[in-house]
Amino acid sequence: MKYFYFLNLHRHIRFFSIAIIILLLSSCAGNKSTGKKNDTVDTIIKTARSYIGTPYKWGGTTRAGMDCSGLLYNSFLVAGITIPRTSRDQGKYGKKVSFYQLQPGDLVFFSAKKGSPKVTHVGMVTAVKDKHNVQFIHASSSLGVVENNIYSKYYRSIFVKARRPF
């Protein structure tokens, strides 16, 4: 009688062990898509950062000179993603995201002057350090390709919108 009890117990343990393993493996498989997205975002950010110091050139797409939308166009292209070439068209790409929910890889759009809704400049979030320190990379007409904090008084005042391309 004890033999059958242990045999049944062994079957139950084996069943529950297999069920737990299947659950663990399926949860790991679910993370692969997030990992791929993170790898893509990391590639895009790394590529954009490789242009830091490149001078600004309107319409430029090379290390000799780069404009803001060209920087993002080239950086996404290296990751195998083709986005629109102009900041105005990039402003329609992806889905809307709140200023307070920015993540690395999000596109951020600015106007030429405070209060204007017209998009004239684009950058990409590279790091969220804390709730008042969100770094973004862009090609500044005066400084070339640089990273700045979007919470700075200047950039906060001309911010128009953000889009999540993924």
Contact between 151 and 26 (Cβ < 8 Å): no
Q: What's the pTM?
A: 0.78
Q: Pairing between strand 144-149 and 133-140?
A: antiparallel
Task: Write out the residue range of the structural domain in which residue 103 sits.
Answer: 41-164
- Flag whether 14 is in a domain: no
pLDDT, residue 11, reads 53
- Flag whether 24 is in a domain: no
Contact between 134 and 149 (Cβ < 8 Å): yes
Point out the catalytic residue in the list 10, 12, 28, 68: 68
**Residue 10 falls in the annotated catalytic set:** no
Backbone angles phi, psi at 135, to 5 degrees: -85, 140
Give the tens place of pLDDT for each residue, 140-163: 999 999 999 999 999 999 999 999
Point out the catalytic residue in the list 10, 28, 121, 132: 121
- Flag whether 5 is in a domain: no
Give the tens place of pLDDT for each residue, 56-108: 999 999 999 999 999 999 999 999 999 999 999 999 999 999 999 999 999 99
Number of structural domains (the chain) is 1
Tell me the pLDDT band of 36, cut-offs 50, 70 and 90.
Answer: confident
- Flag whether 23 is in a domain: no
Length of the chain, please?
166
Residue with tokens 């090609």: 139
Tell me the pLDDT band of 7, cut-offs 50, 70 and 90.
Answer: very low
CATH classification of the domain holding 128: 3.90.1720.10
- Percent above pLDDT 70 for the chain: 80
**Residue 68 falls in the annotated catalytic set:** yes
